[in-house]
Structure 1
Amino acid sequence: MYRSKVLSLFLVALVLLVASCSGKIEKKPGNALIGYVDPFIGTGFHGHTFPGPVMPHGMVQPGPDTRLNGWDASSGYHYSDSTIYGFSQTHLSGTGIGDMGDLLLLPFTGEEDDKPIALFDKKDEHAEVGYYKVRFKNFDVEAELTAGMRVAYHRYMFSGKETKRVLLDVGHILQRTWGHSNMANEFEIIDRQTIRGLKYSKGWAQDHRVYFYLRFSSPFILNEVNINGDDVDASAESYQGKNVHAYLQFEELKTDEALEIKIGISAVDMEGAENNLKSEMPNWDFKALKERNQKAWEKELERIKVFTGDKDKKTTFYTALYHSLIAPMIYQDADGRYRGMDLQIHQAKEGHTNNTVYSLWDTFRALHPLMTIINEKKSVDWVNNLLVKYQEGDFLPKWPLCANYTGTMVAYPAVANIADALSKELPGINKQLALEASVNSARYKPELIANVTHIGKRELMPLYNKFVDAGTYIPADSIAKSVSYGLEMAYYDWCIAQIAKLTGDEELYHEFDKRGQYYRFYFDKETGFMRGKNADGTWVTPFHPRYSSHDESEYVEGNAWQWTWFVPHDLNGFVDLFPDKAHFIQKLDSLFTTSSEVLGEDASDDITGLIGQYAHGNEPSHHIAYFYTYLGQAWKTQELVDKILHEFYPPTPEGIIGNEDCGQMSAWYILNAMGFYQLTPGDPTYVISRPLFNKVEIALENDKVFTIQVENNSKANKYVQHASLNGTPLPELLFGHKDIKKGGLLKIIMGDKPKFNN
C-alpha cells in the first residue's frame, strides 16, 4: 500500500512451465515443504517483504536492514542493496509504510567507527525458513540469525586477528524522513554478559515501546557510548537519552568460537523481556531453535499439499503460504501480559491471545477468508481479539500496530472479517458483542470515545459518518477520498447487516442493508463511473477517470477505473444501474483494455500489475475478474486469472507485483492456484477460477480433507469444462464454505477452448 511519486509502470513477465505429471509430496529428508520456500521472493520491486527468520505469527523477526528511508525501505530490506546497517529485531512484511526495525546489532572488526556499515555480495547471502546468513566483504565476520516466538538468536563468527566488536544501536529507526523519531532510549548493564533496556519511539505507531533483554555468550567490554550525538563516559551502569548507541568489544572470544546473542523482547516491561527469553530459550543452542522454527513452519505448510512435479510452482505456492502466515503477529508475553489498545497492561484471559499487525483493509479480501479454511481456530482467535480491542478502545481498529490506532486506510474493515467468520459459522464468537462492536464502530463520534487518547487523526470519521447517518452521499467538496470511503462504507454496512441477520436483530438488519445500497449515490449513468459529487449535487469536474492521486482526488490508491467496481456485495443491483447487462459487460471489458497510462503527477505507486486499467498490485481490484463468472462469462474470469497467476507471481525477488500487504497478495495467489476465490467476504460462496495444480489436498481442523482434483490440466488448457462436487455436477461454477467443511472431492475438468454456458 501507499506513498509517493510517479511510478514507471512495471510488468514482470516470466514463462513458468506447467507440469502435466503429478506426484504426492512425500515426507522425507530433503523434500520437506519448507524446502520450497524462498524468503527472497518479494524483496525486490515493491513487494516490501523481508528475508530474515520468523516463526508463524511470531513477535520477533530478526533480519538485515539494508535501507533506512523511502517507500522501498518499508521492511528495512531491498534485494538490490549491497550494504547492511545491521540486524534489527522486528520487521513488517510487505506494508507500504515503514516502522519497527527495533534494536539494531552490527558485528564488525577493527577500529571503532561512527555507525559502521557492512558490505556484502549476493553470493555470500543465504536465506531459508527459520535461518539467515551473510558474510561481510569489509569485515571478517559471518553472521547467522534464527528466531523463536519472542526471542531472536544471533551467531557471529569472527575471523582474522582484528578486534572483535558489536554495535548496539538502541536508537536505530527506519524512516526518519517520514517523521519517525525516538522519545527515549535506555539501557542498563546487568553484568558483563547481560544488557537490558527500552526503545520508546514515535512513528506509524505513535506510542511504540520495545523492552529488551540481551545475553551474550562471551563477556564484553563497553568501549564507547554515544547519547544524542555526543560521546559520554562508558563506565556507568545505565544510560538514557533520545538516541543511544554503544560499542562492545569481545576480547575473550577464542579462535573459531562464535559469539552468540539471545534477545528477548516485550511491549510490557523489562521483566517481561527477560521472562520471554528465559521461558523460550534458557540454553545456548542455536541449532535447536532453528530446528524448532522449521518444524513449526513445516506443520503450518502441511495444511495444504499440492501435487505437481513443477518445482517453480511449488516454490511460488509455498512461499506465498509462508508469507500468508507471518501476520497478524502475536503481541503478548509468555506470562499472558500485553499492552492493549488503551496502552494499559492487561492479563489475557484463558484461551485468548493478543495480536498486532492487522492490515485489515487489505487482508479481509483473501487472507482472512483463506484462514477460515485452513486454520479455523486462528480465525476465531483473531475475531475475538478484534472484539477485545473494541472493548479496550471503544471502537474497532482498521490498522492496529503495536497497540496503536494508526488510522490507516478506509472506513471500518474489521466488520468484514467478523461478518465472514460468522457467515461461515465459526464457533466461539460472541454474536451480540460482534454486532455491538460493528454498529458502534460504524456510528462512532469523537465524543463517544472515552478510553483512547492516542488515535491517529485519520482514524476519526465523524464527517463521513455525518452524511451516511443522514442517508446521503459524502460530498467531494467537503471531504477528501469521498468516493472510496462511500463505496467501502456501503460494503461494510452490508457486512453489518449480515451480522445483524445472524444475530436476529431485524431492525438493525434493515437499517444497515439500506445503507449498503448507498454506493448508488456515486454512480454517474452518463459516464458509467463512480464519481465524486459536490454538496450541490453536481459532479466534480473536470473528470479524468485515469487520474490517480494520494492527496487531491476522490479516490484512495487508485482512480475511477479501479474504484468503480467496488460493489462486491450487490452485483445484481450494480448491473441494474446500467441500461442492461450487455452494457455492464462492455464497460467491464473496457477496464482490461483501456490504456495502462495513469494520469496525474502524484500517481499512486500502488498502480502496478496492470492489465489495461485493472491493477493487480493493489487490493481494490482483487475481486473484479470474478464478476464475469456470475454474469455467465466464466471463460473471461479464467483467462484473466491464468494471466495473473503466470505473469505476476514468478519465483524471483520481483515475484510480488505490488506490496505484499501482510499476506493479501500471496493469499490471492494461493486461493486461485488451488482453483477458487471468494468474491464477497460475508457471503460464504466460492467461485471456481483456474486451478494450477493437478491435485490439492486441504487438511481441515475437523480431521477431514477437502481435495481438488483437476483433469486435462496444462498451460493451454486454462478453461473449465465441467465441475462436480462429490460426484454431483455443479450447475454453476460456485460452491459453499459448508461444502469445504464437509470434506470430499471437487473435480474440475479443463480444456483449451472456452465453455460458453458455464
Structure 2
Amino acid sequence: MNQKLFVTLTLLAAILLPSCQPQKPMSDEALQFVDPFIGTGFHGHTFPGATLPFGMVQLSPDTHLDGWDASSGYHYDDTEIYAFSHTHLSGTGIGDLGDIGLLPYSNTEEALPVASFSKKTEKASPGYYSVHLDNFNIDVELTSTLRVGMHKYSFGQADARNVMLNLAHVLQANWGNAITGNECTIIDEQTIEGLQRSTGWAHDHLVAYRIEFSEPFASKRVVIDGKTAETSSIKANNAQVFLSFADSKEPLIVKVAISAVDPAGANKNMQAELPGWDFDKTLKEAQAEWQQQLSQIQIETNDADIKTNFYTALYHSMMAPFIWQDVDGRYRGMDKQIHQAAEGHVNYTVFSLWDTFRAFHPLMTIINPDKASTWADALVQKYKEGGILPKWPLVSNYTGTMVGYPAVSVLADAAAKGLGPDDLSDWLEASVQSATWRPDIVERFKGTREAAVMPKHIYFKETLGWVPSDSVAEAVSYGLEMAYFDWCVAQLATAAGEANVAKAFKAKSEYFRHYFDEESGLMRGRNYDGSWVTPFRPRYSSHEKSDYVEGNAWQWSFFTPHANEQLIDLYGSADRFEAMLDTLFTTDSTIEGEHASGDITGLIGQYAHGNEPSHHMAYLYNWTNAPYKANERLDQIMREFYLTEPAGIIGNEDCGQMSAWYVMSALGFYQVCPGDATYTTGRPMVDKATIRLPKGQLEVLAHNNSAKNLYVKKVVLNGKELDKPFFTHEQLLAGGKLEFYMSDEK
C-alpha cells in the first residue's frame, strides 16, 4: 500500500474509531450456516468437498466425469462415486483437474470399483466431508490442510479393507482431457510417490504427489492397460494400484500431499503441514481457519435463509484463486520452468478473471486486502514469465478463455485502493503489452487454445476503432469490454505518471460509442465497412458465433461501467435511459436462436443474473431519477436467485463471482466500476453487519428492515446523510457506521 495513503487512513480511522480494540473471537455461528451443497445442483457447478480458504488441495468426491455438469466433478443428482480426488474447480463452465483419485472398496468383482451412496448419508461443512459407501459398507471422512488431503476410511467389513489408486482417473475425457504421463513408485508398504501429467483445458498440467498410509498394506496388485504387472515402478497412462490391508476394525488413515513441482516438494509439503495422523486435530484446525476467514464479516438477521445464503456465499468466495506453490517457495511458472518465489511473492492459480473482476476482487480488497495485493502481484509475475497477462490462468497454463484482457481491471482496482507498489511501472507495462496487438504472441501460441490470449479483436480495435462483425465472432462483447479495459489501463497510466499513455488509452476507452444504435437504443454489430449488421435481432443468441458472448444485445448493451454518464448522454436523457432499463427488466424473456448460449439463466425480462455481464445492471438505476427501482430489482434477485438448496445458484458460480455479488449486495453496496474506488448503494438484506477492516471496522445497519420495507429512504455515513447513492473506498476504510433507513414507500 502507498505509505502516505496508509498513514492518512490510519489517522482517519483512529479519529473515527477511538475506542477500537482487537476483535473478540467470533462464535462458530458462521460455520453452522455454511451449506457446501448449495450450488451443486442445476448448473452451479460447485463441489462439497474439504478444503481450506484458497487451498491447493480441494478434496472432493468425483460423481460426474463428463459433460457440462461435470465441471467440478460433482453433481447433486448423482449417486455413484468414482474416486475422491484432490484438485477441483468451483463453479466453472469448463472442467479440468480431478488429480490423484483414490477409492476405498470392499468385496467386488469390478475391474474398476465404483461406490454407490445415498444423499441422506452425505455431510459437508467447511473443511469436512463425509459419506457412507452403501455397496462397500465404508464410512469415508475427508479434511485437509493447504497442500495435504486427509482421508479416514472406516470399513464395515474388517476382513475386506482395500484401496484403489486410479492413475488413469481424469475429468472430461469425452471433451479431450487425458493423462499424458505417469511416473509412480511404490516406495514401501506405506508410501507411494509419483508425478502425473495431463492435458485438457490446461494444455500441459503437471502435479506431483506423495501418499502415506497409517499402516502397511498386506498385498498389492498393479494393473497396466488391463493386465496385471509385477512392478513397483509404473510408467503408463492407464494404470491402477490395488492395495489390501490386514484385517482390522481400526480406521485406515490416508494422507495425500500434492506439489506443483515434484515428489520431493510433495514430501516437504507433507512434513511441514501434516506430519502426524490425528484426523480430529486436523479437522479442528481446518474449522478454525475457516472460522477466522468467515468472521471477516459478522451479520445479524432473523431470516435463517438470508444467513445461510450469506455465509455460504462468503465460503464459496474463498475457493479460488488457490495457492500453487510448495512450502519451500518453488512453483512451475507460465514458462513451464521451475521458479523460486521472491520474498513476499506467492504463486496462485485459477483466476476466473472475466467473471471475478466484477465483484469478487472488489470484495477481497475490503476483507482480504493483503491477498488482493498478492494476487495482483501474481498476475504481473505471470506476465514476466510468459510475456502477457493471463486470461483464465490454470495451473501454469494460458487458457485464453473469455473476453479481452480482464487482468488489467484487477490491477487498476488494486492500484486505485492503494494496494499496488509505489512504482507502478511493471504493472503498467504488463497492462499496455496485454492490451496491444502482439504478432509475437500470436505466433507463439499459433494453433493452440492458448492463442485466444491475443485475439484478433485487439488488432481490429487498434486499426479500425471497432471490431467488425463480418470478420470475427463476438465482436460487440469484445468491443465493449476492451473499451472498459482500456480505461483501466489509462487509470494505471495516470497513477504511474505516464500522461501520454493515459491519453492514448483514454481515447480508446471511448470506442464503445461505435456500437450504439440510437434507433434501437442497444449496442449493435458493425461490419468492416462501418455498416450495421442486419437483420438486427436483440434477443438472438448463438453460442460463440454471434456478436455477443454468452448473451444477446439486451444483456450487453449496458456494459459501459467506466462511462455511464456518457452512455446516458447517448440516450439523450436520464429518463430515456431509465425507460430502457425498465424495458430490460420487463420485456419478454424469450431467447431466440437454435444454438442460444446455455449460460443465459436467471432471467427477469432480458436481464440474466446467471451470467456475469448483467451483474451491475440493477445498480444503474442509481444513475437515473428513480433509484428506488434498484431496490426493487435487487430484492427480487436476492430472494429468487439465491436459495438454500442444491439448485440455489441460478448459473455457474464462477469461482466466487456469483457469491461475491450476493455478499456485497446483501451488505447494501456494490462497485459498478472496478478501477474507480467508488461504491453505490443498494438494498441491504441483512439487518446488521460488522466488517473487519485493516484498521477498525465498518458497522452496517439497516433500520426497520424487512421483506416489506425494501426501499431505502436515506443513507447515513458516520452521521452525515449521503446526498447521492455513492461513497468512496477511502470512506469505507475509515470505518464507523453506515446506516440505511428502510421503508415500504418508494
What's the TM-score once normalised by structure 1's chain length?
Answer: 0.93
Per-residue Cα deviation, 1:249-291 (whole angstroms, up to 9, x for no partner): 11x2422x01110000011011111111111111111111111
Distance 1:517 1:93 in 2: 35
Per-residue Cα deviation, 1:58-78 (whole angstroms, up to 9, x for no partner): 000111111101111100001
Identify the match of residue 194 of structure 2 among 194, 197, 202. Answer: 197
1:687 pairs with 2:680:
yes
- 1:445–1:462: 8 Å Cα contact kept in structure 2? no
**Structure 2 gaps, min length 5:** 1-22
Q: What letter matches 1:184 in structure 2?
A: G
Q: What letter matches 2:525 in structure 1?
A: G
Distance 1:423 1:133 in 2: 43
Alignment of 1:123-202 (within 5 A): 123-202=120-199
Q: 1:539 to 1:221 in 2, by over 3 A?
A: farther
Residue 230 of structure 1: aligned partner:
226
- 1:558–1:604: 8 Å Cα contact kept in structure 2? yes
1:436 pairs with 2:433:
no
Distance 1:85 1:242 in 2: 18
Per-residue Cα deviation, 1:132-152 (whole angstroms, up to 9, x for no partner): 111111112111100110000
Q: 1:354 to 1:454 in 2, by over 3 A?
A: farther
Alignment of 1:60-459 (within 5 A): 60-227=57-224, 229-233=225-229, 235-250=230-245, 252-255=246-249, 257-428=250-421, 430-447=423-440, 456-459=449-452
Distance 1:350 1:753 in 2: 56
Alignment of 1:407-556 (within 5 A): 407-428=400-421, 430-447=423-440, 456-461=449-454, 463-556=456-549
1:652 CA drift (Å): 1.1
Q: 1:163 to 1:429 in 2, by over 3 A?
A: farther
- 1:675–1:690: 8 Å Cα contact kept in structure 2? yes
Per-residue Cα deviation, 1:423-449 (whole angstroms, up to 9, x for no partner): 112253641111111001001413158
- 1:253–1:259: 8 Å Cα contact kept in structure 2? no
1:565 CA drift (Å): 1.0
Distance 2:569 2:703 in 1: 37
Moved more, 687-696 or 469-478: 469-478
Distance 2:369 2:445 in 1: 31
Residue 605 of structure 2: aligned partner:
612
1:301 CA drift (Å): 0.7
Q: What letter matches 1:268 in structure 2?
A: V
User: What is the SS of the residue equivalent to 1:577?
Assistant: helix
Identify the match of residue 568 of structure 2 among 563, 575, 582. Answer: 575
* 4+ residue runs over 4 A deviation: 25-29, 448-455
Distance 2:420 2:401 in 1: 30
Q: 1:303 to 1:737 in 2, by over 3 A?
A: same
- 1:226–1:246: 8 Å Cα contact kept in structure 2? yes
1:456 CA drift (Å): 2.7
Q: What letter matches 2:239 in structure 1?
A: V
Q: What letter matches 1:731 in structure 2?
A: D
Distance 2:671 2:379 in 1: 22
Give me the identity figure in percent: 51
1:523 CA drift (Å): 1.4
1:750 CA drift (Å): 0.6
Q: What letter matches 2:112 in structure 1?
A: K
1:101 CA drift (Å): 0.5
Q: 1:609 to 1:226 in 2, by over 3 A?
A: same
Residue 8 of structure 2: aligned partner:
none
Distance 1:222 1:454 in 2: 47
Moved more, 103-112 or 40-49: 103-112
User: What is the SS of the residue equivalent to 2:174?
Assistant: helix
Residue 733 of structure 2: aligned partner:
741
- 1:55–1:293: 8 Å Cα contact kept in structure 2? yes
Moved more, 152-161 or 217-226: 217-226
Q: 1:451 to 1:539 in 2, by over 3 A?
A: closer
Per-residue Cα deviation, 1:177-221 (whole angstroms, up to 9, x for no partner): 111111112210100110011221000000001111000112124
User: What is the SS of the residue equivalent to 1:493?
Assistant: helix
- 2:713–2:741: 8 Å Cα contact kept in structure 1? yes
Moved more, 355-364 or 742-751: 742-751
User: What is the SS of the residue equivalent to 1:673?
Assistant: helix
Distance 2:355 2:447 in 1: 23
Distance 2:107 2:430 in 1: 58
- 1:446–1:460: 8 Å Cα contact kept in structure 2? no
Q: 1:294 to 1:551 in 2, by over 3 A?
A: same
Per-residue Cα deviation, 1:359-398 (whole angstroms, up to 9, x for no partner): 0000000000001111111110011111111100111001
Q: What letter matches 2:228 in structure 1?
A: V
Q: Provide the aligned length of Structure 1 versus Structure 2.
A: 724
Per-residue Cα deviation, 1:644-680 (whole angstroms, up to 9, x for no partner): 1111111111111111100000000000101101110
Residue 18 of structure 2: aligned partner:
none
- 2:72–2:89: 8 Å Cα contact kept in structure 1? yes
- 1:395–1:441: 8 Å Cα contact kept in structure 2? yes
Identify the match of residue 723 of structure 2 among 718, 731, 742. Answer: 731
- 2:391–2:406: 8 Å Cα contact kept in structure 1? yes
User: What is the SS of the residue equivalent to 1:720?
Assistant: strand
- 2:544–2:550: 8 Å Cα contact kept in structure 1? no
- 1:41–1:655: 8 Å Cα contact kept in structure 2? yes
Per-residue Cα deviation, 1:596-623 (whole angstroms, up to 9, x for no partner): 1111111111111110000000000001
What's the TM-score once normalised by structure 2's chain length?
Answer: 0.95
1:460 CA drift (Å): 3.9
1:463 CA drift (Å): 2.2
- 1:99–1:203: 8 Å Cα contact kept in structure 2? yes
Residue 33 of structure 1: aligned partner:
30
What is the alpha-carbon root mean square deviation over aligned residues? 1.7
- 1:446–1:462: 8 Å Cα contact kept in structure 2? no
User: What is the SS of the residue equivalent to 2:549?
Assistant: coil
